[in-house]
């Protein structure tokens, strides 16, 4: 749909220029050659993907933080905390990272640093430190309009 809009808008702009008497030939004196520097475009799709990735990272941080609090308060065993951590690794690895943006690169770096633990497998006890995630993604996510957040719902 966006492709049709772009083609339609381009055709409309061309028609308006032709109607105004613009024929594409410049008669004004100016610099002999002006080099255009291509600008990287941030599309609405890129912004939406970045915002979705930031939301997913916030959900993962929520899983980890609540599992940590439940363990520290004695409501979870280490086995339960580790089960939630394993789920968090799988959720992290499901976040798409195909773009060149800072959010995509940050998520890709996290995916590289935190191995995915497959469902039903035994893993040694491990820790996920989401403070590093916050440091890597807080500014890019805020720029994408999706600040990182944690929702605490365990405890009293």
Return the percentage of the chain with pLDDT > 70, whole number. Answer: 72
**Residue 40: its pLDDT value, please?**
52
Distance from C-alpha of 134 to C-alpha of 22, rounded to nearest angstrom? 52
Predicted pLDDT of residue 8: 34
- Provide the mean pLDDT of the chain: 76
Q: For residue range 137-155, what is the model confidence (pLDDT) as tens digits? A: 999 999 888 999 999 998 7
Please write the tens of the pLDDT for every residue from 17-69: 333 344 444 444 444 544 554 445 667 777 788 999 999 999 999 999 999 99
């Amino acid at each position: 749909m966006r492709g049709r809009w772009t083609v339609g808008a381009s055709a409309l702009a061309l028609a308006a220029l032709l109607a105004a008497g613009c024929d594409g030939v410049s008669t004004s004196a100016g610099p002999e050659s002006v080099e255009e520097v291509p600008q990287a475009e941030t599309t609405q799709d890129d912004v939406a993907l970045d915002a979705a990735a930031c939301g997913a990272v916030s959900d993962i941080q929520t899983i980890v933080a609540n599992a940590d609090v439940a363990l520290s308060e004695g409501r979870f065993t280490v086995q339960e905390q580790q089960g939630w951590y394993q789920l968090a690794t799988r959720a992290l690895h499901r976040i798409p990272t195909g773009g060149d943006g800072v959010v995509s690169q940050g998520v890709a770096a996290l995916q590289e640093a935190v191995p995915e633990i497959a469902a039903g497998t035994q893993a040694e006890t491990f820790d996920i430190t989401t403070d590093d995630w916050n440091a890597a993604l807080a500014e890019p996510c805020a720029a994408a309009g999706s600040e990182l957040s944690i929702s605490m719902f365990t405890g009293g």
